[in-house]
């Protein structure tokens, strides 16, 4: 279920995007689930506390495989749910439901790992 989060007061609205938030703002961030929205809120809090830096959302990563002549060939795009710097190291995070993930998502995560960019999986229970 889609979740819309007000960029002002951070109120969550499920399913239908309101024309305007109760605080008067009309700009919202869109998330594919409540879990992803909650994860993002937690990361924003960690950034404000100075525990992480350079917090970004939905960064695009080109996926490469080895072509017929040994040259890298772009085979797709992976879009993360969040990326940031923690202890001087880049971290890429993807929120997944506890029920698991679809085969295409699993393949993209394996390619990211093979490229030296492992993705941390976040679920509600973690």
Instruction: Report the alpha-carbon distance of residue 28 to residue 126 in Å, rounded.
Output: 26
pTM given for the model: 0.83
125 falls in which pLDDT band (50, 70, 90)?
very low
CB 81 within 8 A of CB 95: yes
- Residue 99, pLDDT > 90, answer no
Residue ranges per structural domain of the chain = 53-122
75 falls in which pLDDT band (50, 70, 90)?
very high
Per-residue pLDDT, averaged over 5-14, amounts to 90
98 falls in which pLDDT band (50, 70, 90)?
confident
Q: What is the pLDDT of residues 21-44, one digit of tens each?
A: 999 999 999 998 889 999 999 999
- The per-residue pLDDT for 123 is 86
Q: What is the pLDDT of residues 54-73, one digit of tens each?
A: 999 999 999 999 998 999 99
């Amino acid at each position: 279920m889609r979740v819309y989060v007000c960029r002002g007061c951070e109120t969550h609205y499920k399913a239908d995007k309101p024309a305007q938030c109760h605080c008067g703002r009309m700009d919202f961030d869109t998330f594919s689930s409540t879990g992803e929205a909650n994860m993002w809120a937690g990361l924003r809090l960690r950034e404000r506390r100075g525990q992480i830096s350079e917090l970004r959302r939905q960064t695009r990563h080109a996926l490469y495989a080895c072509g017929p002549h040994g040259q890298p060939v772009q085979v797709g795009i992976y879009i993360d749910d969040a990326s940031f710097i923690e202890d001087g190291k880049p971290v890429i995070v993807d929120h997944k439901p506890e029920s698991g993930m679809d085969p295409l998502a699993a393949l993209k995560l394996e390619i990211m790992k093979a490229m030296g960019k492992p993705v941390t999986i976040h679920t509600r229970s973690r």
